[in-house]
Amino acid sequence: MAKKKAKKKKKNSTGRKILYIILVVILLIIVSKYLPQEGGQVAVLVNGEPIYLSEVEDTYSKLEAAERLYVTKDMLIGLLVDNKLLLQKAEESGFKVTDNEVDLMVDAYKGYLPEGQFEEQVMSDQNKFNKFKEDVKENLIVQKYLKSKIPEVEVLPEEVLAFLEQYKSRLSGDMVKASHILVETMEIAEEVLSQLKDGADFAELAMEYSLDPGSGAAGGDLGWFGRGIMVPEFEEAAFSLEPGEISEPVESSFGFHIIKLFNKTSITMPNITQVRPLIESSLFNVKLQTNTDRFTELLNQIKNESIIEIIVTFAETTTTTEAATSTTKLETLVTEQQTTTTKEATTTTLNNEAVFKNSCLADYDIYQDMVFYFSEDNERSMSMFELVEGLNGGSKVYFLEKESDKISVLDECFPELNKQILPQLVCISSEEIKLGELSEEELADFAESCS
């Protein structure tokens, strides 16, 4: 890494994380014209409420290539589902925010961005602005709910003042967003640069060559940073580039860097009173990250009381619903997979710890080839029920209804199976799972492969 005084960096890691949230969330997400338009094809139903495919695709399209290497669309689906569940629970519990609270937060965003940028990127489109305000409102409602359940995440006034005093010098000035590839010798640096000039992908080469363990795994991504953060040689080169440009090899005490600049901007010290709600929200999210266990426990409790129906699925890797470590939709991260048609189910396999134990299944008198997990209250489950029942007269399949007294079999024998996704078909011998509704042909192929 090209940052100065590594030891000091460790001591200030929390502060840097806060700065990262403030700067990256605002400058990357808003300036990149986040705020996808809802409507069209539904991707997931969460207790009957839709999450649209456009929310997934539009957000994904805003990411840099480096970001797409280490985050998946499944993560986005998981985060959107978590946000929806938390909002539903918060509203069900009676939490509300006033128009004034929303206006103050919107004004905080406006006050932090360079002059005129908020108006240009958000307010110029009334639909986008309305969607932004709605997102702010929902985030504030969820924050109130979480503060009631996890009191430790409440932000104190003195914490806001202490943060501003400590980091006010870094809340203004020139900033750039860059990636780098760090190598040991000039010879290797020139080889990498030659590949880049021939059209090679920067992020892929960073993952292959970079000696920086932090950014290398992320495709070289260093995020946004201002002056005084990096060593002088690196800083001079980075700030001299224009967006899209790649530097010649830059030597520092760490080795040889090849730098790619993605964006640059200049910010001025915001009015403290104006941006205070945004600072409080950012500090809240940092505190939430330090209380992950309690947050995850709460979220899992909500999930166990909910029904999540996957309609549009992603085919290349395992589909999961991951607990979000932040409640704000502005902090969504996603990455690459290919979407399939609405009726196509997702194939996934449990991990290598062999959760399918014959002895465990035998305890529940389950000896069939497959387990069909369904609910009579779920339309897709019931439309698939007769097809499953038709497989060898149903003798190949154990039918496990969500409200069955044997539902504990999932916790004991299938601990990694997400009970909120309906329907599911599990092949016991191959440990393969089909999520969502299958066509008759797909079902026949899956049953044959499971024989």
Nearest to 279 by CA among 169, 168, 177: 168
Q: What is the Cα–Cα distance from 105 to 277, expressed in whole angstroms?
A: 6
Cα–Cα distances in angstroms (integers) from residue 131 to residues 106, 137, 329, 330, in the given order: 12, 10, 12, 12
Q: What is the Cα–Cα distance from 315 to 217, expressed in whole angstroms?
A: 24
Give every strand in the sheet of 424-427, ordered side by side.
Answer: 346-349, 432-435, 424-427, 370-374, 397-401
Q: For 322-375, write each residue's pLDDT tens digit.
A: 333 332 322 222 222 222 222 334 433 333 333 333 457 766 777 788 888 888
Bridge partners, residue 178, by sequence: 261
Are the C-beta atoms of 374 and 423 separated by less than 8 Å?
A: yes
182, containing H or E segment: strand 173-183
Nearest to 259 by CA among 234, 227, 228: 234
Q: What pLDDT score does 69 carry?
A: 59
430 phi-psi bin (left φ>0, alpha ψ -120 to 50, beta other): alpha
Q: What pLDDT score does 54 carry?
A: 85
Q: What is the Cα–Cα distance from 86 to 303, expressed in whole angstroms?
A: 9
Nearest to 326 by CA among 28, 23, 82: 82
Orientation of helix 272-289 relative to helix 126-149, angle to 10°: 50
Are the C-beta atoms of 340 and 304 separated by less than 8 Å?
A: no
Secondary structure class of 267 (helix, strand, coil): strand
Bridge partners, residue 224, by sequence: 177
Q: What pLDDT score does 15 carry?
A: 42
The pair of three-digit structure tokens given for residue 342, joined into one six-digit string: 């609405």
Q: For the chain, which residues score pLDDT lower than 50?
A: 1-36, 315-358
Q: What pLDDT score does 336 carry?
A: 25
Cα–Cα distances in angstroms (integers) from residue 130 to residues 37, 54, 106, 125, 439, in the given order: 11, 17, 11, 9, 40
Secondary structure class of 233 (helix, strand, coil): helix
42, containing H or E segment: strand 42-46
Q: What pLDDT score does 330 carry?
A: 25
Q: What pLDDT score does 63 carry?
A: 63
Q: Show Cβ contacts of residue 230 under 8 Å, excluding neighbours closer than 6 positions.
A: 2, 3, 4, 238
